[in-house]
Structure 1
Amino acid sequence: MEGENVVKLKDFLERHGARLGEKIEANLTPVYNPLRPEGVEEYGRKMVALLRKPFPVQAEVIKGISKALYQEGRRHLFVCGEMGTGKSLVSLATAANSPTMRVLVVCPTHLVEKWIREAQSTIPDVHTVDLTVKNVISVLHAFRYERSLPRTHEVHVISKEKAKLSYAWRAAALTTKRSLLPHCPHCGRIAMKDDEYLTFGEIGKRKTHCRVCNTPLWQADRTLRRFAPAEYIKKYLKGYYNMVIIDEIQDYKAEGTLQGRAMGALLGSSRFALCLTGTLNSGYSDDLFHLLFRMDPVRLKADGFNHEDANKFLSTYGTIETVRKLDEEDNVYGRGKKKAEMVRRRPGVSPVAVGKYLLDKTVFIRLADVIDGLPPYEENVLSYTMDKGQAEAYGDLQQQLKRAVTAHKTKALGAMLQALLSYPDSCVQFPENISIRDRRADEVLEVIEAPILTLAPGELLPKEKDFIGIVKKEREEGRKVLCYLTFTNSRDIRPRLKHILEDEKIRVGVLEPSVPPKRREEWVRKHTPGFDVLLTNAELVKTGLDLYDYPTICSFQTGYNIFTLRQAARRSWRIGQTEPVRVYFAIYRGTMQEMALSLVAKKLEVALMVEGELPEGLADYASSGGSIMQELGKALIEGGDYTGAEKAWANFRKKEIEAQLGVRGTENIFYEKKTGSSSRTTVQGNVTIKVSFIDGKKKSRSVVEINAADLDTVAAGRKVQLALF
């Protein structure tokens, strides 16, 4: 919609941002205002004793959280911070601001040792305990009868997988001489659901009760004796832990999962809780519902919601799409109409929900707030033209899959997209063989194949050639390279890539899934001195790990999981990194790889909006509202305007930088990195931007440094990559 009365949200905020800010300050009373610090002097004195000193912004956040928890009665809080902002330091320092307390940390398995190490390097004289052990229930049972008060701060760490797992169960019913159907052991009636008889196979898949007397038709399986630690703590150790810290809280958003139940049990058994996340919301309002219900059930119940009302919450504070189909059909006795209705959830969170349920219990931290502790960061999209044979084989496969999607709709769509994403890289090792099945009829509808291509001895694919050059250049500068590969199961190209690199006298390591999650960080730290390049799947290292030794990251293969891409790309750009971080995304032009990366860039622009950064407005939100898989399928059939990944990624980075520069009518405070020292600088459109122009097959590159205010003028009509300094 265009017109004289239409104003972009960015322009509106630039014009009226100062007045809006004044209104907000006049009508909202923050728990803690760093400009007028009151009641936090004690916390400031305690932080002096920490073994690791927080950055100034982190220190203010710690004071605010401490005041909210210990003085204002805010028992449960979210800490939402971008990757690398130091959420673990903030939470541990907050715990240290109280009198001696016992803290339980729940985290992914591969982060258990990291949390123990962080606690030991942050809190003086802390006592740490690893509860991710086989006999954890025996240890908790000993705690139950000990019940001693801690003499110093204690931090106990357990993995979320260990905390949730309970005993196994099996069906428990009787048979008779006259019937092989399951009978209730109490009343003897045959097990039924509504008017249908149940079999032993059916009651063995889902816990069932007798329809007559409500007796459980299941019992504990004594072959595996186990008790969920979270349930044990709730039942026998309520109050034993003064605080629970739950890391990666976004993994607990579902309703009936074991992890979700474990979260509820632990929140109910401790006085204080800090829930940490880098991505609190994926864009759908109902993702928040169960987290909020476990955090603050009283408020949601007062508003008329119970624990089963996720759809009601979605319809109230989210977006629902209703699709109605009306088909005419010929019946034997006349002509009739058949109606079909499908309801789908769509991205969108009402600002009312954010203001009503999140603002009073959430602390937000951005990398821009702690930018003085970070080195320069740049991202580059490297596009390659496929060789003739490679392009012909890919084009034939794409046409076959396009016809298949048109004929069979979304059957095997996921397998098709994975084939198109991986084939340009794996075509010299693996053929493609995709079977499209009708699940109801158990019938193969079509089989689509693509051949293995043969290369001459010593011949390499374009992406492989350039990757060798990148690695050699980085090695000359004393930098190690972390290489991500996505399809490491049935289309694993790691052995070929390792062989190619080793032929060039490059030392290569491979992080396998067989390395236990709890030992991955230790494995990387132990073996890194012997590597120039580390090959791994991004899923293995996407959360929590600090890979400082690999300042250069190359996504050799890129999928379409936004969360994985965003987390993995910044594994080494974290507080503590001293080297400039370079990230490369390698794709082939005119392929599904380019479409996927372009779509991810568009989705990341929307993610900026969901997280409160509105550099352009909400117009793009609706245009990028579907899932990436749906839009890739649409692009496969219709073509779509998803080419030009360099331009799409440059647009996203431009908007990300603009968001960091701010959209208010007042100045922003940044920490600008200078040679030899870091100084606090006030800037308004005066941040240094490094602009890289990449042209031609040989990737000729010219670099200039400009002011942010001159960005649009320099970038006009050209494809650029940006880095904020």
Structure 2
Amino acid sequence: MEKLLLKVQELLQMSDRNSGRMNRLSIQMKMDNLTSYLKIGTEELWDKIKEYLFGAKTLEDLSQIKLGSKLIPTSEMLKDVLEFAISNIQQIHFENDGKIFKAYVKTIMLDSDEETIVGIYFTGNFTACRAIHALFYNSREIFVTHLITEKTTKYYSNFQYRRVEEIIDKVCHTFLLPRLAIVEEYKEVCMEADASNQIHPDRILMSRDGNVEELAGQFLAQKYSLPKTKDWADLYLSLIPNNNWSEIKMVHTDSAGEGHKVRAIVIKSMKEEEVLALINQGIMNGRLNVFSETGDPAILTEGMTTEEYLRTNGKMLATKIDQYLKPLYEGHTYSPFLGQTKRISLPAQARAVMGVLAVLQRKYSVFLIGDMGSGKTQMSLTAVFALMKKRNASGAQDGISVLIIAPSIIIPKWAGQEIPKILGDQIVHCTIINSTEDALQYVKKIKSGYRVPKGHIEFVLVSTDRMKLTANKFVLGAIWKHQRNLWCCPDCGRGLKSPKSKTNDDVMATWKDAVELPVRPPNRSELREAYLNGTMGANGLPLNYIKRYTSLIRQFECLCKSGEKSVIVHKKSADSEKKERKRFCTMARPAVKDRGEDRNKPRWMIAEIFQKHLKNHFHVGLFDEIQQMKASDSGRGLAFHKLLKSCKKAMFLTGTLTNGASSSIQATLWRSDSKSLIEEGFKHNTTKELWAQKYGVIEKITYLDEESEGIIGRTTNRRSERVQVTEKPGIAPQLVARHLLHKSVFVELADLGLPLVRLKEEPIIVPLDEEHDAAYQLFHNRLYNACKEFQQELKSKAWAKFNPATLNYAAQPQLENVVEFVDENGTILHTVKAETFPEDYLTSTERRLIDDVKNELKDNRGCIIFTHYTGIFRTNQRIQKILREKGIESEILDVNTTSSVGRFEWLEKHREKGTKVLIMSASLVQVGLDLLEWPTLMFWQMNDNIDVLRQASRRAWRIGQSLECRVRYYVSEKTQQMAQFQRLMRRRIQALLVEGRIERSDNLAQYANDDSSNLTRDLAGSFSATELTETWKTAAEKDMDANLKIVNEEDYENAIKEAFVRLTAETKRLCGVTDLVQFDGNLVTTEVVPLDTTEIVQSGPLSESVGELDLFSFNLTVNTIKTKLRGSSELLIQEQIAFDFGL
């Protein structure tokens, strides 16, 4: 009470207008009256004290504000009023358009000048808080007024805030945080600074509990890659000089509550060298302890490679990993469901499945990354089976639905072979969605209440080619106004802007913006005739008048359909404000068959149908060959994004997660886990260059114009320059650690423990015949010089035909080969023509190919000849013709032979038929297919995509292949084919470096430099044939796991059978599935049902092969075994107990 009265007296002295002795007497009298009222409150005393001034308000005013009533307060009430009078309560209020907005301030964060507001926390009603938030962006000056004294303080806004608000009991709590205190905002600004070679901004750190030292330590450790141990991190801030950081002044009002504990600091941006110097100084003076108490130090000697370091310190590193990292799955426990599939997984596959299940239990998605032939289909389907069994055991009354997205070529394989073989056909139902009608029919079935039967799995399969297909044709939904000669919105009637115009331009859309044919709109007489005949369309044109629309029609939009929304962004000035338009409010619509706009039946995107009508319907989505959906702006990528919305969980299957560049995984990570990327400052439209700034490798090339005309300075000799930023192969370890390692399962072929036959890769480099070589060199040099001559005028178009022309002239000089250089107006600037050879001429490389095919057929080995240029060059037909002339029959697989869905059946037909020679493009069979019947693969032409080449070359080298696999690459010496093959070799070595199969210290790594990757590289710089052959063979050996078990052809059959029996039995043992000893050939175990885990304290007879075990030392799992006669449904053994000792 005494403290209260002292503060009240101070406030009265400040408020009393008298001075000197009169003031002291007046204050004393007022205090006596207040003290008396606090003892005995009477109406007479209230009349004396109610007019006392406290600041700008009377005691009566304060009583009404505090108590909300005009009644005379009691003594206890007056005490509350006096406490309210001396409190520090401040308001922000302003008037706008005749309306007054008020909010109570809780905390103000001030810059070093103590005038600029860095952050602020206030409360009020929702409208007032939003209006005050806008005030901080619209006005530089902010006024805060004390509620009691009405003293006003002027502050200034810095326009850099991030609003965070919460509404509790209709009271809006708003915190305008400093923008650089938000992690994603700070990281975004840092990426922008990196892109423009600017220094990073200062970092603001805020701690609710006041422990800014710990927070600063974590930030510095993350920012500058320092050790994150607590004993070090808590000391980092104390090592930084005071001029490099400062504490932000916090002004708290009495409304702040727990906010009084909040502290904030600013850490200035420092160079990494400065920070490391401070850390080094801390180590030298003993403030940072570098001595570990957890074992011996690592061994590092001069010249030691990374591999040698890891091998030398492997045991110590494993101990550290076990100490600091806890795996999601430790690899020792197995679900019994894994041993109950029709085709049992191998132990390595079972461990991978358990890892997948562990990830899906905690995360939305998991990456299953396995070598080609490692059984990704087996593992994914086993995981689905385990999920179904777990759901069934939980008491669910229905089964599960699974969505499978895969390339169209392997959809039949999934449905017809893999699912029945792995899971059987009693508990699975497969539905292939091939069209819009199929998708709508399936949606209708689900909407009608269909549920998958309990214990069953429904697979819905959609190909990557089908899922993305939208309408066959789009037409413009606008109305043509003949009188105004422009297109108008059918809803509001306003004219539409031309898609070619800039945002702020008011150029209206005319006929040519939307229509290619006819080139002119209908005249008045044509319109009148259509009106009289009743053939006038709703778009203001005669029916079927438009023959072809332009590609711009989907960019038409009207303001009435695309409103604007304000976005809080960093502002360069107080007056600037960025607006973001809602996109994709297009005026285009699908063509309607009934209106004569399209001959085909209506079609719409399957992915969008599922997204809209089956949100979270599928329990799991299996996305096979996820690398084909990686592009952020492709049809497949967008459809993949939509289908994820239909899946509760997702599994991504791939053998090549990345192509070596960090941006190749960017879009997939965003679509599967955008939250983690948003927290780091990334957005959906973050460029791959900005992404690579953090997680990849960026190459910046600055081109300076040294010619006199390159001077662009008016008063100086400043020259023009052009900076080209490109991403190079390379992935930062942080990308793997932060976004992949905790949700990825890796399986290598060697992990399976199965034998494989030998794989032999061999480049066949053949010199051209003398006459052919002379003609080729002449054509190559003329074309090369012409491309260089017209490069400045035609840019990249000058080189567009160089590679196809030179590569195919080396392979087929019998074709007419003419290259024309044409400008934008269609004028032919120059022509280069090659000498044409007779049709019956066989090149030296063709003769070698024929001889090799004959030798393979003698050994009864099937061959596949891979081509690339199969269009106008008709390479497939040429090879088929020359083989037929030598008595060798072959079949061609191309886009005209069958659809992508039918390729699997086509290959199966020729396998059954016994066709020995096939000709096709490698891109048609790069994924999903097993070409076991054709163990010799011959690359007559090669694709510049190294991923296609690597995958296609392994199609025959799979588990189950009993013949030695041979891969041959045919290259004509001293031609552009040599340069192309050299490029592919470099890219393959780059991929091996990224995958960790070779080290930078390896001699092979010297060939990975990219300085010779230009498509038009001069042939004089090519390797010799011998060097190229040996380097390729070495790279091919590195591309195979050294731990693989390789056996000879004659030993393979027995080795693979023995391995499968042994390994599948091991999987069953690990899963607790015990096979019965067969009393005769008719007894089989049909089902294993796990019961509750129980401790058993009894013993029984043990098998002699097992030996004696102490049962009291084990926790046993009890299973029941049901046994019946083969071919009979009658149970022979009703209930048999099986003990799983967990060994």
Q: TM-score, normalised by structure 1?
A: 0.84
Are the equivalent residues in 1 in contact too, given 2:986–2:1010 (CA < 8 A)? no
- Return the alpha-carbon distance in structure 1 between the equivalents of residues 852 and 370 of structure 2: 32
- Return the alpha-carbon distance in structure 2 between the equivalents of residues 134 and 73 of structure 1: 34
Given the alignment, which residue of 385, 388, 393 partners 2:770?
A: 388
Match of 2:1067 in 1: none
Match of 2:819 in 1: 434
The amino acid across from 2:806 in the alignment is L
Judged with a 3 Å threshold, the aligned counterparts in structure 2 of structure 1 residues 269 and 554 are, in CA distance, closer, same or farther, namely same
Are the equivalent residues in 2 in contact too, given 1:609–1:618 (CA < 8 A)? no
Match of 2:587 in 1: 217
- Return the alpha-carbon distance in structure 1 between the equivalents of residues 1007 and 509 of structure 2: 47
Deviation for aligned residue 1:523:
1.0
Deviation for aligned residue 1:113:
0.5
- Return the alpha-carbon distance in structure 1 between the equivalents of residues 780 and 422 of structure 2: 54
Deviation for aligned residue 1:558:
2.3
Match of 2:341 in 1: 50
Are the equivalent residues in 2 in contact too, given 1:602–1:652 (CA < 8 A)? no
Are the equivalent residues in 2 in contact too, given 1:605–1:655 (CA < 8 A)? no
Matched, 1:190 2:495: yes
The amino acid across from 2:349 in the alignment is Q
CA deviations on 1:578-607 (whole Å, 9 max, x unpaired) are: 222111111112222122222212211111
Are the equivalent residues in 1 in contact too, given 2:1004–2:1031 (CA < 8 A)? no
Given the alignment, which residue of 1015, 1018, 1023 partners 1:632?
A: 1015
Matched, 1:250 2:627: yes
- Return the alpha-carbon distance in structure 2 between the equivalents of residues 207 and 627 of structure 1: 41
Match of 2:249 in 1: none
Match of 1:709 in 2: none
Given the alignment, which residue of 467, 474, 481 partners 1:169?
A: 474
Deviation for aligned residue 1:362:
1.3
Matched, 1:85 2:390: no
- Return the alpha-carbon distance in structure 2 between the equivalents of residues 270 and 487 of structure 1: 39
Matched, 1:158 2:462: yes
Are the equivalent residues in 1 in contact too, given 2:755–2:1046 (CA < 8 A)? no
Judged with a 3 Å threshold, the aligned counterparts in structure 2 of structure 1 residues 266 and 175 are, in CA distance, closer, same or farther, namely closer
- Return the alpha-carbon distance in structure 2 between the equivalents of residues 392 and 574 of structure 1: 43
Question: What SS class does the counterpart of residue 342 from structure 2 fall into?
Answer: coil
Deviation for aligned residue 1:372:
1.6
Match of 2:533 in 1: none
Q: Name which one, 1 or 2, has greater alpha-carbon Rg.
A: 2
Judged with a 3 Å threshold, the aligned counterparts in structure 2 of structure 1 residues 216 and 549 are, in CA distance, closer, same or farther, namely closer
Matched, 1:237 2:614: yes
- Return the alpha-carbon distance in structure 2 between the equivalents of residues 28 and 20 of structure 1: 11
Deviation for aligned residue 1:541:
1.4
- Superposed, 1:511-590 pairs within 5 Å as 511-514=893-896, 515-528=898-911, 529-590=913-974
Matched, 1:148 2:451: yes
Judged with a 3 Å threshold, the aligned counterparts in structure 2 of structure 1 residues 673 and 26 are, in CA distance, closer, same or farther, namely farther
Match of 2:353 in 1: 62
Question: What SS class does the counterpart of residue 111 from structure 1 fall into?
Answer: helix
Match of 2:677 in 1: 300
Given the alignment, which residue of 429, 434, 440 partners 1:127?
A: 429
Given the alignment, which residue of 105, 109, 117 partners 2:408?
A: 109
388-397 or 619-628, larger mean C-alpha shift: 619-628
Matched, 1:600 2:984: yes
341-350 or 184-193, larger mean C-alpha shift: 184-193
Q: TM-score, normalised by structure 2?
A: 0.54
Match of 2:1036 in 1: 653
- Return the alpha-carbon distance in structure 1 between the equivalents of residues 985 and 323 of structure 2: 37
- Return the alpha-carbon distance in structure 1 between the equivalents of residues 617 and 895 of structure 2: 36
- Return the alpha-carbon distance in structure 2 between the equivalents of residues 22 and 595 of structure 1: 48
CA deviations on 1:35-84 (whole Å, 9 max, x unpaired) are: xx13x3xx2x2232222222232122122212322xx3222111122222
Are the equivalent residues in 1 in contact too, given 2:929–2:955 (CA < 8 A)? yes
- Superposed, 1:10-29 pairs within 5 Å as 10-29=307-326
Question: What SS class does the counterpart of residue 640 from structure 2 fall into?
Answer: helix
Deviation for aligned residue 1:380:
1.2
- Return the alpha-carbon distance in structure 2 between the equivalents of residues 376 and 302 of structure 1: 48
Are the equivalent residues in 1 in contact too, given 2:866–2:921 (CA < 8 A)? yes
Match of 1:495 in 2: 877
Matched, 1:74 2:422: no
The amino acid across from 2:987 in the alignment is K
Question: What SS class does the counterpart of residue 254 from structure 1 fall into?
Answer: coil
The amino acid across from 2:935 in the alignment is P
- Return the alpha-carbon distance in structure 1 between the equivalents of residues 1015 and 753 of structure 2: 35
Question: What SS class does the counterpart of residue 148 from structure 1 fall into?
Answer: coil
- Return the alpha-carbon distance in structure 2 between the equivalents of residues 177 and 557 of structure 1: 56
Unmatched 5+ stretches in structure 2: 1-300, 389-398, 515-549, 563-584, 594-600, 1060-1143
Match of 2:64 in 1: none
CA deviations on 1:311-336 (whole Å, 9 max, x unpaired) are: 43222212222333332544999977
- Return the alpha-carbon distance in structure 1 between the equivalents of residues 1038 and 932 of structure 2: 27
Deviation for aligned residue 1:119:
0.6
Given the alignment, which residue of 178, 184, 193 partners 2:483?
A: 178
Match of 1:690 in 2: none
21-30 or 249-258, larger mean C-alpha shift: 21-30
The amino acid across from 1:276 in the alignment is L
Deviation for aligned residue 1:91:
0.7
Q: How many residues align?
A: 654
Match of 2:55 in 1: none
CA deviations on 1:199-227 (whole Å, 9 max, x unpaired) are: 35546523332247637433343235333
Are the equivalent residues in 1 in contact too, given 2:783–2:832 (CA < 8 A)? yes
- Return the alpha-carbon distance in structure 1 between the equivalents of residues 373 and 626 of structure 2: 16
134-143 or 564-573, larger mean C-alpha shift: 134-143
Judged with a 3 Å threshold, the aligned counterparts in structure 2 of structure 1 residues 619 and 175 are, in CA distance, closer, same or farther, namely farther
- Return the alpha-carbon distance in structure 2 between the equivalents of residues 575 and 400 of structure 1: 49
Are the equivalent residues in 1 in contact too, given 2:989–2:1008 (CA < 8 A)? no
CA deviations on 1:361-411 (whole Å, 9 max, x unpaired) are: 111222222362432211111111111111111111121122123323343
The amino acid across from 1:305 in the alignment is F
- Return the alpha-carbon distance in structure 2 between the equivalents of residues 405 and 641 of structure 1: 23
- Report percent identity of matched pairs: 26
Given the alignment, which residue of 464, 481, 500 partners 2:863?
A: 481
Match of 1:98 in 2: 387
Judged with a 3 Å threshold, the aligned counterparts in structure 2 of structure 1 residues 54 and 221 are, in CA distance, closer, same or farther, namely same
Given the alignment, which residue of 313, 328, 332 partners 2:691?
A: 313
Deviation for aligned residue 1:245:
0.6
Are the equivalent residues in 1 in contact too, given 2:999–2:1005 (CA < 8 A)? no
- Return the alpha-carbon distance in structure 2 between the equivalents of residues 673 and 28 of structure 1: 38
Question: What SS class does the counterpart of residue 490 from structure 2 fall into?
Answer: coil
Are the equivalent residues in 2 in contact too, given 1:107–1:160 (CA < 8 A)? yes
Given the alignment, which residue of 673, 681, 684 partners 2:1047?
A: 673
- Superposed, 1:250-399 pairs within 5 Å as 250-311=627-688, 312-327=690-705, 328-330=707-709, 337-370=719-752, 372-399=754-781
Given the alignment, which residue of 179, 184, 199 partners 2:510?
A: 199
Are the equivalent residues in 2 in contact too, given 1:606–1:620 (CA < 8 A)? no
Deviation for aligned residue 1:123:
0.7
- Return the alpha-carbon distance in structure 1 between the equivalents of residues 779 and 315 of structure 2: 55
- Superposed, 1:399-418 pairs within 5 Å as 399-409=781-791, 410-418=796-804
Judged with a 3 Å threshold, the aligned counterparts in structure 2 of structure 1 residues 384 and 641 are, in CA distance, closer, same or farther, namely closer
- Return the alpha-carbon distance in structure 1 between the equivalents of residues 1015 and 853 of structure 2: 31
Deviation for aligned residue 1:445:
3.0
Are the equivalent residues in 2 in contact too, given 1:173–1:184 (CA < 8 A)? yes
CA deviations on 1:669-725 (whole Å, 9 max, x unpaired) are: 654537232588xxxxxxxxxxxxxxxxxxxxxxxxxxxxxxxxxxxxxxxxxxxxx
Question: What SS class does the counterpart of residue 142 from structure 1 fall into?
Answer: helix
510-519 or 228-237, larger mean C-alpha shift: 228-237
Deviation for aligned residue 1:296:
0.7
The amino acid across from 1:123 in the alignment is L
Given the alignment, which residue of 395, 413, 419 partners 2:805?
A: 419
Are the equivalent residues in 2 in contact too, given 1:501–1:507 (CA < 8 A)? yes
